[in-house]
Amino acid sequence: MKTTLRIDDTVMARLKREAARRGVTMSEIVESSLRTALWSRPGDQPPLPTLPTFDCGVPLVDAADRQALYEIVRRDRLSPD
């Protein structure tokens, strides 16, 4: 929807700089800011969708063990396909 707003010159200048810095439009920043302001209380935000889950069996490696992860990556790079 298109609308007209009156915005203070200093706020507008900062908005323009921020939009250029982020590489987005001023409208995107204004809309995002309004969403944050309007849905800032718990329960005001639309519900998040439920994420899917998958049963992939027992993990083959502990993801917190960096050394084990490095070894698997190294082994997979060395093995011919």
Whether residue 32 lies inside any domain: the answer is yes
Residue 56 within a domain: no
Residue 4 lies in a domain: yes
Instruction: Output the domain CATH number for residue 13.
Output: 1.10.1220
Whether 81 is covered by a domain: the verdict is no
List pLDDT tens digits, range 28-64: 999 999 988 887 776 666 778 999 998 888 888 888 9
Distance CA 32, CA 38 (A): 10
What percentage of the chain reaches a pLDDT higher than 90?
47
With beta carbons less than 8 A apart as the criterion, state whether 33 and 19 touch. Answer: no
Given a cut of 90, is residue 78 above it in pLDDT? Answer: no
For residue 18, being part of any structural domain is answered with yes
Structural domain that includes position 29: 1-43
Helices marked H in 1-81: 9-22, 26-38, 66-78
pLDDT tens per residue across span 56-75: 888 888 889 999 888 888 88
Number of domains observed in the structure of the chain? 1
Residue found by looking up tokens 């987005």 in the block: 24
Domain assignment present for residue 79? The answer is no
Residue 6 burial (C-beta neighbours within 10 Å; 0-12, 13-18, 19+): exposed
Per-residue model confidence (pLDDT) at position 81: 61
